[in-house]
Amino acid sequence: MEEKLNKLKELLGEVSDLQSAAAVLEWDQQVNMPSAGAEARGNQIATLQRLAHVKATAPEVGQLLDDLESYAKDLPPDSDEARLICVARRDYDINIKVPPDFTAEFSRVSAMAFDAWQKARAASDFNVFQPHLERVVNLGQRYVEFFAPYEHAYDPLLDRFEPGMKTTEVKSIFEALRPQQVALIQAIAERPQVDDAFLHQEFDDQKQWDFGVEVVTKYGYDWERGRQDKSAHPFTTSFSTRDVRITTRIQRNFLPSALFGTMHEGGHALYEQGINPAYERTALAGGASLAVHESQSRTYENLVGRSLPFWEHFYPRLQELFPAQLGNVDLQTFYKGINKVEPSLIRVEADEATYNLHIMLRLELEIALVEGALEVKDLPEAWNARMQEYLGVVPSDDAHGVLQDVHWSSGLMGYFSTYALGNLIAAQLWEKVNADIPDLDDQFRRGEFGELLAWMRENIHQHGRKYQPQELVQRVTGSKIDPAAYMRYLTVKYGEIYGF
């Protein structure tokens, strides 16, 4: 049976190679490629993804998985071999339902949609993007039908990013969370607002870049296995544990954008660099889910990067880089400023207390699009109405509203809820981290982040896709995904900042 397992690994390795080659082209499209190359690039990516899909669903792969089923039952259930066979079987059972031509079409349409989104966002004109998004939504609806019957039409899309998670579960979590977050925001609104005017000055691009590099280097990002570039929307991509790349977006007149964007993507990258190298080119490579991935990015962006101990170490360096802007701003004022709670238009720059409301808004719109209850042409109006309802602010243009996120242009329908779920997981992990490393704050004050990374490597990173997300969270924290730890974190933090 070991011979058959090795053959399975060989075949899946070829699939991984093709998918990684397509990912390189996608990275280049967002970082380097001239706009006129979009159609050709779409065809190139489509060809690679179609070949990968054909190989992944080959009869030989199915036969090997059938042959290995009884073998896996005799292995220790948590062994790498048993888990690899299990995850590979799950992937195969999903992929076999989707025609290769659909996979190619999806890649081609997404590549063209991304180019259209960039142009639409630059012009703040949804009409430029609308026909492309209509094709993306149509493909999403077609994808769903490959998995009929289903409990909810959104389930197959969600399952792409959160294996095993159901729409009803996400809705239940959000329904429990939303009133608590709204109550917290109302309590904050009743207190005197903190000042963050000093963040809205001119900050040199290169110095912003350099400071971000210093921070993620301290976090443990390995530059021999990674690099950072600029893109319209920050992202992380991984071609192997030895090539994990991040991007950032710099706003000259708003310091937090690049600062926390780099930290966020650095958290994703640390996860990918920490996966067991033995999983390379197998079904166990990659993160357990997008929510678990977001738990890492949100940890390093917020739980670490917006904490007072972090800035007790780093703030003197930031003042050294920007003496005219920050030289007369004391640490407490800066700390409160970067944690200011105020309903805002842009999700990636939203504070921790209001962030999840952005996600809930997007989830509801996505579900409505998939169900056919909302047409794409009506999306800007629906977006603005929900922004008014949820956050009390309305975008003045499409660029600051419905066009702000890259995800739909990349075909990533089913993705958004993972951001909020990631916040919840991050807080649960954070309570366990602090119980296991009681002097963590003191380590941050000294600029030491190695023990935190080692804990994440041991408990989260190394396992890759070996465990399903709910299973992994329960193994580490003793509980499945639960909003309680997140609300404890927010209440304590903002109670101290706003004095309630």
Q: If DSSP codes are grouped into helix, strand and coil, which group holds residue 122?
A: helix
Specify whether the CB–CB gap between 253 and 203 falls below 8 A. yes
Q: Please give the pLDDT value at position 362.
A: 97
Q: Where are the alpha helices (DSSP H) in 124-166?
A: 126-145, 155-159
Q: Please give the pLDDT value at position 288.
A: 98
User: What's the pLDDT tens digit per position in 93-130?
Assistant: 999 999 999 999 999 999 999 999 999 999 999 999 99
Buried b (16+ CB within 10 A) or exposed e, 484-497: ebbbebbbebbeeb
The secondary structure of 7-35 as a DSSP string is HHHHHHHHHHHHHHHHHHHHHHHHHT--G
Specify whether the CB–CB gap between 293 and 268 falls below 8 A. yes
Q: Please give the pLDDT value at position 405.
A: 95
Between CA 264 and CA 423 the distance in angstroms is 12
Q: Please give the pLDDT value at position 274.
A: 98
The secondary structure of 395-418 as a DSSP string is -SSSTTTTTS-SGGGGT-TT-THH
Between CA 341 and CA 350 the distance in angstroms is 8
Residues 6 or more apart whose Cβ sits within 8 Å of residue 318 = 211, 326
- List the structure tokens of 392: 């009390």
Specify whether the CB–CB gap between 132 and 106 falls below 8 A. no
Specify whether the CB–CB gap between 401 and 345 falls below 8 A. yes
Between CA 276 and CA 465 the distance in angstroms is 10
Between CA 456 and CA 274 the distance in angstroms is 9
Note if 265 is an active site residue. yes
Strand partners of residue 243: 240
Between CA 249 and CA 299 the distance in angstroms is 19
CB-based burial label for 115 (10 Å; 0-12, 13-18, 19+):
buried
Chain centroid to CA 391: how far? Answer: 22
With CA atoms as reference, report the closest residue to 208 among 250, 156, 158, 263.
250
Residues written for the chain:
500
Q: How confident is the model at residue 47 (pLDDT cuts 50, 70, 90)?
A: very high
Strand partners of residue 27: none
Buried b (16+ CB within 10 A) or exposed e, 54-92: bbbbbeebeebbeebeeebeebeeeebbbbbbbbbbbbb
- Locus of tokens 């990374």: 453
Q: How confident is the model at residue 169 (pLDDT cuts 50, 70, 90)?
A: very high
User: What's the pLDDT tens digit per position in 173-199?
Assistant: 999 999 999 999 999 999 999 999 999
Q: Please give the pLDDT value at position 311.
A: 98
Region 123-147 average pLDDT: 98
Q: How confident is the model at residue 167 (pLDDT cuts 50, 70, 90)?
A: very high
The secondary structure of 346-362 as a DSSP string is -GGG--HHHHHHHHHHH
Specify whether the CB–CB gap between 199 and 429 falls below 8 A. no
**What residue type is assigned to position 479 of the chain?**
S
| Long-range pairs, 237-243, Cβ under 8 A, ≥24 | 237/23, 237/26, 237/27, 238/23, 238/269, 238/272, 238/286, 239/20, 239/23, 239/24, 240/20, 240/280, 240/281, 241/272, 241/273, 241/274, 241/275, 241/277, 241/280, 241/285, 242/277
Between CA 250 and CA 430 the distance in angstroms is 29
Q: Please give the pLDDT value at position 73.
A: 93
Q: Provide the terminal-to-terminal Cα distance of the chain, rounded to the nearest Å.
A: 63
Query: Within 10 A of 423 (CB to CB), how many other CB atoms are there?
Result: 26
Average pLDDT taken over every residue of the chain: 97
Q: Please give the pLDDT value at position 58.
A: 98
Between CA 248 and CA 454 the distance in angstroms is 25
Q: Where are the alpha helices (DSSP H) in 124-255?
A: 126-145, 155-159, 167-189, 205-219
Share of the chain above pLDDT 90, in %: 99
Q: If DSSP codes are grouped into helix, strand and coil, which group holds residue 176?
A: helix
- Locus of tokens 């993620």: 216
Region of 201 (left: φ > 0; alpha: ψ -120 to 50; beta: rest) is: beta
User: Of these residues, 265, 294, 301, 366, which one is catalytic?
Assistant: 265
**What residue type is assigned to position 104 of the chain?**
A
User: What's the pLDDT tens digit per position in 289-321?
Assistant: 999 999 999 999 999 999 999 999 999 999 999
User: What's the pLDDT tens digit per position in 441-481?
Assistant: 999 999 999 999 999 999 999 999 999 999 999 999 999 99
Model pTM?
0.96
Specify whether the CB–CB gap between 130 and 386 falls below 8 A. no
Region 211-217 average pLDDT: 98
Between CA 481 and CA 254 the distance in angstroms is 34
User: What's the pLDDT tens digit per position in 338-356?
Assistant: 999 999 999 998 999 999 9
Between CA 313 and CA 329 the distance in angstroms is 15
- List the structure tokens of 215: 């921070």
Q: How confident is the model at residue 369 (pLDDT cuts 50, 70, 90)?
A: very high
User: What's the pLDDT tens digit per position in 377-419?
Assistant: 999 999 999 999 999 999 999 999 999 999 999 999 999 999 9
Between CA 414 and CA 147 the distance in angstroms is 15
